[in-house]
Chains A and B, each alone.
Chain A
Amino acid sequence: MVSPFCWGCLTRLRPTPRTLLPSPSSVSRGPAFHTSAVFHAGLRPGSGRGATAVSKFRQPSNASMKKRKKPVEKSRPPPVGERKAIRKRIVLSNPNALEVEGLQELSEETMVDSRLHGTALALPVPMLDQLRAVQAFKPNQGWSIFRRPCTILRQETLQLGRFFDKVSGDGEHKGPFVKKKIISGPSKSGKSVLLLQAMAMGFIKKWVVFTIPEAQELVSATSSYAPLSEEQPHLYVQNEATAALLSRTVVANKAVLSKLRVSQDHPALSAVTPGMTLEGLANLGVQDPASAWTVFQALWGELTATAAAPGLEKNFTPRPPILVTVDGLGHWMTESKYRDAEFKLVHSHDLVLVRHFLRLLKPGGDQPALPNGGALLYATSTTMNPPSVYAFDLILKRAAARAAGFKFNDPRFPRAEAYSNIDPRVLEALTSQKSKHAQEKKLGHQVLGGVTHDEARGFMEYFARSGLLQETISDEWVSEKWTLAGGGVIGELERIGRRLRVAA
């Protein structure tokens, strides 16, 4: 190395570049093989930490801001089940809402009164417990903004009311009529509320009401299942779900079931004693879920009996009509989430409970589905994310075409597309055949659309009288909201109406 001094004259030569001679006091030690960047950084004025702050010179820098770490939540999550309970909580009353004056209740007279068409009718308070028991209310139906639960008497409700009146009335048209209907329609069009109104009418008329509030729950593999028997290993029984159904039915129909007595032989059930009420019979299944399916069959046999078994005549009283409502029928039209022994998906129609209720829907059986009359109302659901089943869509289209007057031979009658891989079980389960019984009609299909202008006006007036709307209800205003609600879709009307506007 060349010395910085000229030995000849002892004057210092050009100063050596300092990079070659890092002074250990000012520069902290970096890697031995690379000194320059560390040195420059150390020399930079104002750098507090000296050589440790190495700036990125001509290097790509990330322009986005560095995200701060979120503070870790220290509090414990709510207890198990609490969130779900909040989500599923049903509030039926709002003490801040005004009490509507002159509000009429749903009753035997009002449910067929066409003068009340388009007005809100309150559900009777004693019935609310029954309706809660059958899970007729859903969390998102907006019950919690009014003083007490009310429903609008729309055209379809009136038709339903007349049918209930016809079946249980004492006029000359009385008879064990059966209505079988699939109710479909766009989202928020009031399908579930129509079922609720039917249940309320059933309770008023003292029918026995069976409900499946969420059809999805039977097929989503959330409850236990087992093969039905050794002889029929491909059928599956859901004991807990059946027990829950029995429990719902018992609580809601206590008044009716406690007056009816066992009038048939039930060799499979040793606990059944002659003279036992049907309430007691159903409670057997609630208490012992292992026998729930047998009990359900026994109960169903009792309720559909037209005459007593020999020797038990003194216990027999005429059985009331039955109302069966199912919400979310589309979920039953495909494979369930359950697995069989070979780990293949079990078809929904192989679950005995589902199979039972679907068999009722199919006309043309040897036995009438409901010999004592009644109604089978099965609604589709759009909010519960239903599976898209081509065969089911085709059946609904065909039912609509049949209602429009197209015959099967008509070229415009909907047919299955080639190679559509249609599910034959669905097609077979719902294909409408000619009924062998005079009281039974063909499988009907009702498309629930928007309400009419008059019904919308009545609905909005109910909002105004409850103190939720502070606007003058005029025809123009109502028809504007009717249009904005997509042609009077009642759920949308409710959404528009509940947006509280304070008059300035």
Chain B
Amino acid sequence: MAWSSSNCVVHAMQSIRSPTVLRALLPQQSAARPNILRKVSLLPTPLQQRTNVRNYATELQPGEVQAAAEIDFEQFKARPARIVPVSPSYFSGIPKFYDHLLQIERLLAQHTTLPTVPPSEAPRRAWMKIAQFREHLGEEVPTKKYMGLLKVVYRLNCIDPKLLPAEVDAALQEFVRPGNPLGEKPKPRELDGMGRARGKGKRKESHAVVYLVEGEGEVLVNGKTLNEVFPRVHDRESATWALRCSARLDKYNVFARVKGGGTTGQAEAITLALARALMIHEPGLKPILRKAGVITVDPRRVERKKPGHMKARKMPTWVKR
């Protein structure tokens, strides 16, 4: 909070005297007419002098400077009439958000002439999700406003990385998720020292880990053979589908650990894990496996039951009264 005197006249005079200076700082104007910047630099009163200018009410002649009397805080006469917030957007309810918005809008206005790259070539950064951003600021930012802010952020991110000013980079960094998950690509997985590829998969409530080695088509699931674990032939087929559709069933041995869920979920969790492990051995098979539908994750889970319903969707029978 800043202290301000109760003298309204002083404020009024200030606002009259400073508009040219302040207007020059407004991003929209500078964006629209960048030649104003030049005018600003030609102004007779630089920013440094503003404080002096402001204090014209207590102006003294340079020669007759005298030390002020010691301030007696016990009898502090000039008590502030009201407390003025630091941020002009304080009364908007989400001041930090607007500060950020204004800051990047100003940056965009400043650097709008810089050359850009297409969005596909812009550096990949994982921007904060709305919930994360709300937590970061501690303010209930509406989703729509955050999306508007992100549009500006996207535009700034498209500035040619070679010419990206440091201040823009720093400002953008503010909106990147901690850790920046998309920043660097994960290392391609490799076989371990014993020639095993490891893949993990999930489906419904089941989790599977598959170790794939070269062999002649033996499959062990939790230490048991395939027919002991899956009495249904369909489940056996779906568990080994990645190898089957790429005609590799007799070239690899599978060792799988699977837990949770039911029979079908376990079989399909193995499918996914097996396909991922197979891609470590042979990355070139990815298009085939993609087409076979074994590397597409099925994220569906059981829908929750709702109050008033018998199940997730089912309603009790309608009765007239």
Contacts and interface: CB of A to CB of B under 8 A. Distances in A.
B175 to A, nearest CB: 51
Contacts of A496: 233
B227 A480 contact: no
B174 interface: no
A188 B217 CA distance: 20
Nearest to A188: B227
A116 B217 CA distance: 25
A141 B3 CA distance: 97
A55 B236 CA distance: 54
A446 B8 CA distance: 105
A483 B321 contact: no
A188 B321 CA distance: 59
Interface string A44-80: 0000000000010100010101000000000000000
Interface in A175-189: 186-188
Interface string B21-57: 0000000000000000000000000000000000000
B250 A480 contact: yes
Nearest to B317: A63
Given A57-B321, A63-B317, A483 B228 contact: no
Nearest to A56: B319
B244 interface: yes
A495 interface: yes
Contacts of B227: 188, 484-486, 489, 492
Contact of B250 (A57, A65, A476, A486): A476
A144 B226 CA distance: 27
Contacts of A186: 225, 228
Contact of B226 (A65, A453, A487, A499): A487
Interface in A254-310: none
Sort A-B residue pairs by CB-CB distance and give the 4 closest, nearest first: A486-B227, A486-B225, A479-B250, A63-B316
Interface string B57-91: 00000000000000000000000000000000000
Given A63-B310, A496-B233, A487 B247 contact: no
A496 B232 CA distance: 11
B226 A479 contact: no
B149 interface: no
B218 interface: yes
Contacts of B244: 480
8 contacts: A55-B321, A57-B321, A61-B317, A63-B310, A63-B317, A187-B228, A483-B249, A487-B219
A485 B250 CA distance: 13
Interface in A88-141: none
Interface residues of A, number: 25
A486 B317 CA distance: 47
A482 interface: yes
A484 B240 contact: yes
Interface of A: 55, 57, 61, 63, 65, 186-188, 450, 453, 475-476, 479-480, 482-487, 489, 492, 495-496, 499
A476 B321 CA distance: 66
Q: How large is the interface on B (under 10, 10 to 19, 20 to 34, 35 or more residues)?
A: 20 to 34
Given A476-B247, A479-B217, A484-B227, 10 more contacts: A55-B321, A187-B228, A188-B227, A450-B225, A485-B227, A487-B219, A489-B225, A489-B227, A492-B227, A499-B233
Contacts of B225: 186, 450, 486-487, 489
B237 interface: yes
A427 B44 CA distance: 110
Given A187-B228, A487-B225, A480 B249 contact: yes
Nearest to A484: B236
Contacts of B319: 61
A479 B233 contact: no
Contacts of A486: 219, 225-228, 236
A487 B250 contact: no
B233 A483 contact: no
Contacts of A487: 218-219, 225-226
A4 to B, nearest CB: 32
B217 A482 contact: yes
Interface in B212-265: 216-219, 225-228, 233, 236-237, 240, 244, 247, 249-250
Given A57-B321, A489-B227, A483 B316 contact: no
B253 to A, nearest CB: 10
A483 B247 contact: no
Contacts of A492: 227
B310 A483 contact: no
Contacts of A475: 250
A219 to B, nearest CB: 27
Nearest to A63: B316
Contacts of A489: 225, 227
A57 B320 CA distance: 9
Interface in B306-321: 310, 316-317, 319-321
A479 B236 CA distance: 14
A484 B226 contact: yes
A492 B228 CA distance: 10
Contact of B233 (A57, A63, A453, A484): A484
A78 B139 CA distance: 79
A188 B219 CA distance: 17
A63 B314 CA distance: 11
Of A450, A453, A480, which is in contact with the most chain B CB atoms at under 10 Å from its CB? Answer: A480
A496 B225 CA distance: 16
Contacts of A57: 321
Contacts of B237: 484
A240 to B, nearest CB: 37
A188 B231 CA distance: 12
Given A63-B310, A186-B225, A489-B225, A483 B317 contact: no
Contacts of A483: 217-219, 226, 240, 249-250
A453 B250 CA distance: 10
B10 to A, nearest CB: 72
Contacts of B217: 479-480, 482-483
Nearest to B251: A479
Of B216, B227, B317, B320, which is in contact with the most chain A CB atoms at under 10 Å from its CB? Answer: B227
A186 B244 CA distance: 25
Nearest to B240: A483
A73 B320 CA distance: 37
B231 to A, nearest CB: 10
Contacts of B317: 61, 63, 65
Contacts of B310: 63
B277 to A, nearest CB: 16
A186 B223 CA distance: 13
Contacts of A55: 320-321
A264 to B, nearest CB: 50
Interface in B183-231: 216-219, 225-228
A59 to B, nearest CB: 10
Contacts of A61: 317, 319
A256 B240 CA distance: 52
B290 to A, nearest CB: 21
B311 to A, nearest CB: 11
A348 B217 CA distance: 43
A480 B217 CA distance: 8
